[in-house]
Amino acid sequence: MIETIEELNNKVAPKTQVLPLPLEPLGKISWNYWWSWSRDGAGCFRELAPAIWEECEHNPRLLLSRVSEYRLAEMANDPVYCERVNKLANDFAEYMGLHPNGAAPLGTPGLGQDWSNPGNIAAITLEHPVAYFCAEFGVHNSLPLYSGGLGILAGDHLKSASDLRLPLVAVGLLYHQGYFRQRLNREGWQQDVYRETDPEILPLHPVTGEDGSRLLIEVLIRDRAVR
């Protein structure tokens, strides 16, 4: 099931921090990794609170939860910054609003190929998208689902599919710790540091079925059902 933009907005709205009116678009944009490859996405979040942005390791959801009300009010009264946010919001609305489902109609001139290919039993449509299975997806460093170059490549595939309006669903794993960090001890030896992944500070929400219950997939591994 592919959820519409309206359905996604209804799910994230209760979790979005109340922001001053001029900055409200940042809350919605922070739930979509489109900001990470848009022209001024990272810049708008960084400008809001540079030091906190670095402390949060470029996680906009965490950033918005930590910025003080005073700083939010200050930036909401900065006309230059508000214009940047407004421009980013317009770009995001244009990107997502090309179709009610958040994608341009298949075969829209200038926005990619006609993936529908009528008459083909393996046609790619919004109802029957490509299923992309991969062990890791390097969409952004704030989403710790990768550990190497192949994960970065998989993440680039997702971004390209999004830009091309190719209906595609990534299927992978949400790791408890994700990739590790490296540091050197006093003797010069490398040490690996693993951090727990907290889904509550990431732009994630459970996938649900048509009845609203959480979607669980059962796979048979060595004669044992794994969910």
* Confidence grade of residue 23 (pLDDT, cut at 50, 70, 90): very high
In this structure, are strands 190-193 and 181-184 parallel, antiparallel, or unpaired?
A: antiparallel
pLDDT in tens, 34-78: 999 999 999 999 999 999 999 999 999 999 999 999 999 999 999
Beta bridge partners of 130: 168
Q: Tell me, what's the pLDDT at 100?
A: 42
**Spatial contact of 175 and 135, defined as CB atoms under 8 Å apart:** no
**Mean of all residue pLDDT scores within the chain:** 84
Beta bridge partners of 224: 221
Look-up of token digits 């910025």: 67
Q: What distance in Å separates the CA atoms of residue 18 and residue 90, rounded to the nearest whole number?
A: 20
Q: What distance in Å separates the CA atoms of residue 205 and residue 13, rounded to the nearest whole number?
A: 12
pLDDT at 183 over 90: no
**Of 19-33, 113-127, 184-198, minimum mean pLDDT range:** 113-127
Q: What distance in Å separates the CA atoms of residue 217 and residue 194, rounded to the nearest whole number?
A: 28
* Confidence grade of residue 98 (pLDDT, cut at 50, 70, 90): low
**Of 21-30, 70-79, 97-106, minimum mean pLDDT range:** 97-106
**Spatial contact of 41 and 34, defined as CB atoms under 8 Å apart:** yes
HEC string of 80-94 equals: HHHHHHHHHHHHHHH
pLDDT in tens, 106-146: 444 444 455 556 556 567 888 888 999 999 999 998 998 88
**Spatial contact of 20 and 73, defined as CB atoms under 8 Å apart:** yes
Q: What distance in Å separates the CA atoms of residue 86 and residue 30, rounded to the nearest whole number?
A: 14
DSSP one-letter code for 96 = H
Q: Tell me, what's the pLDDT at 40?
A: 95
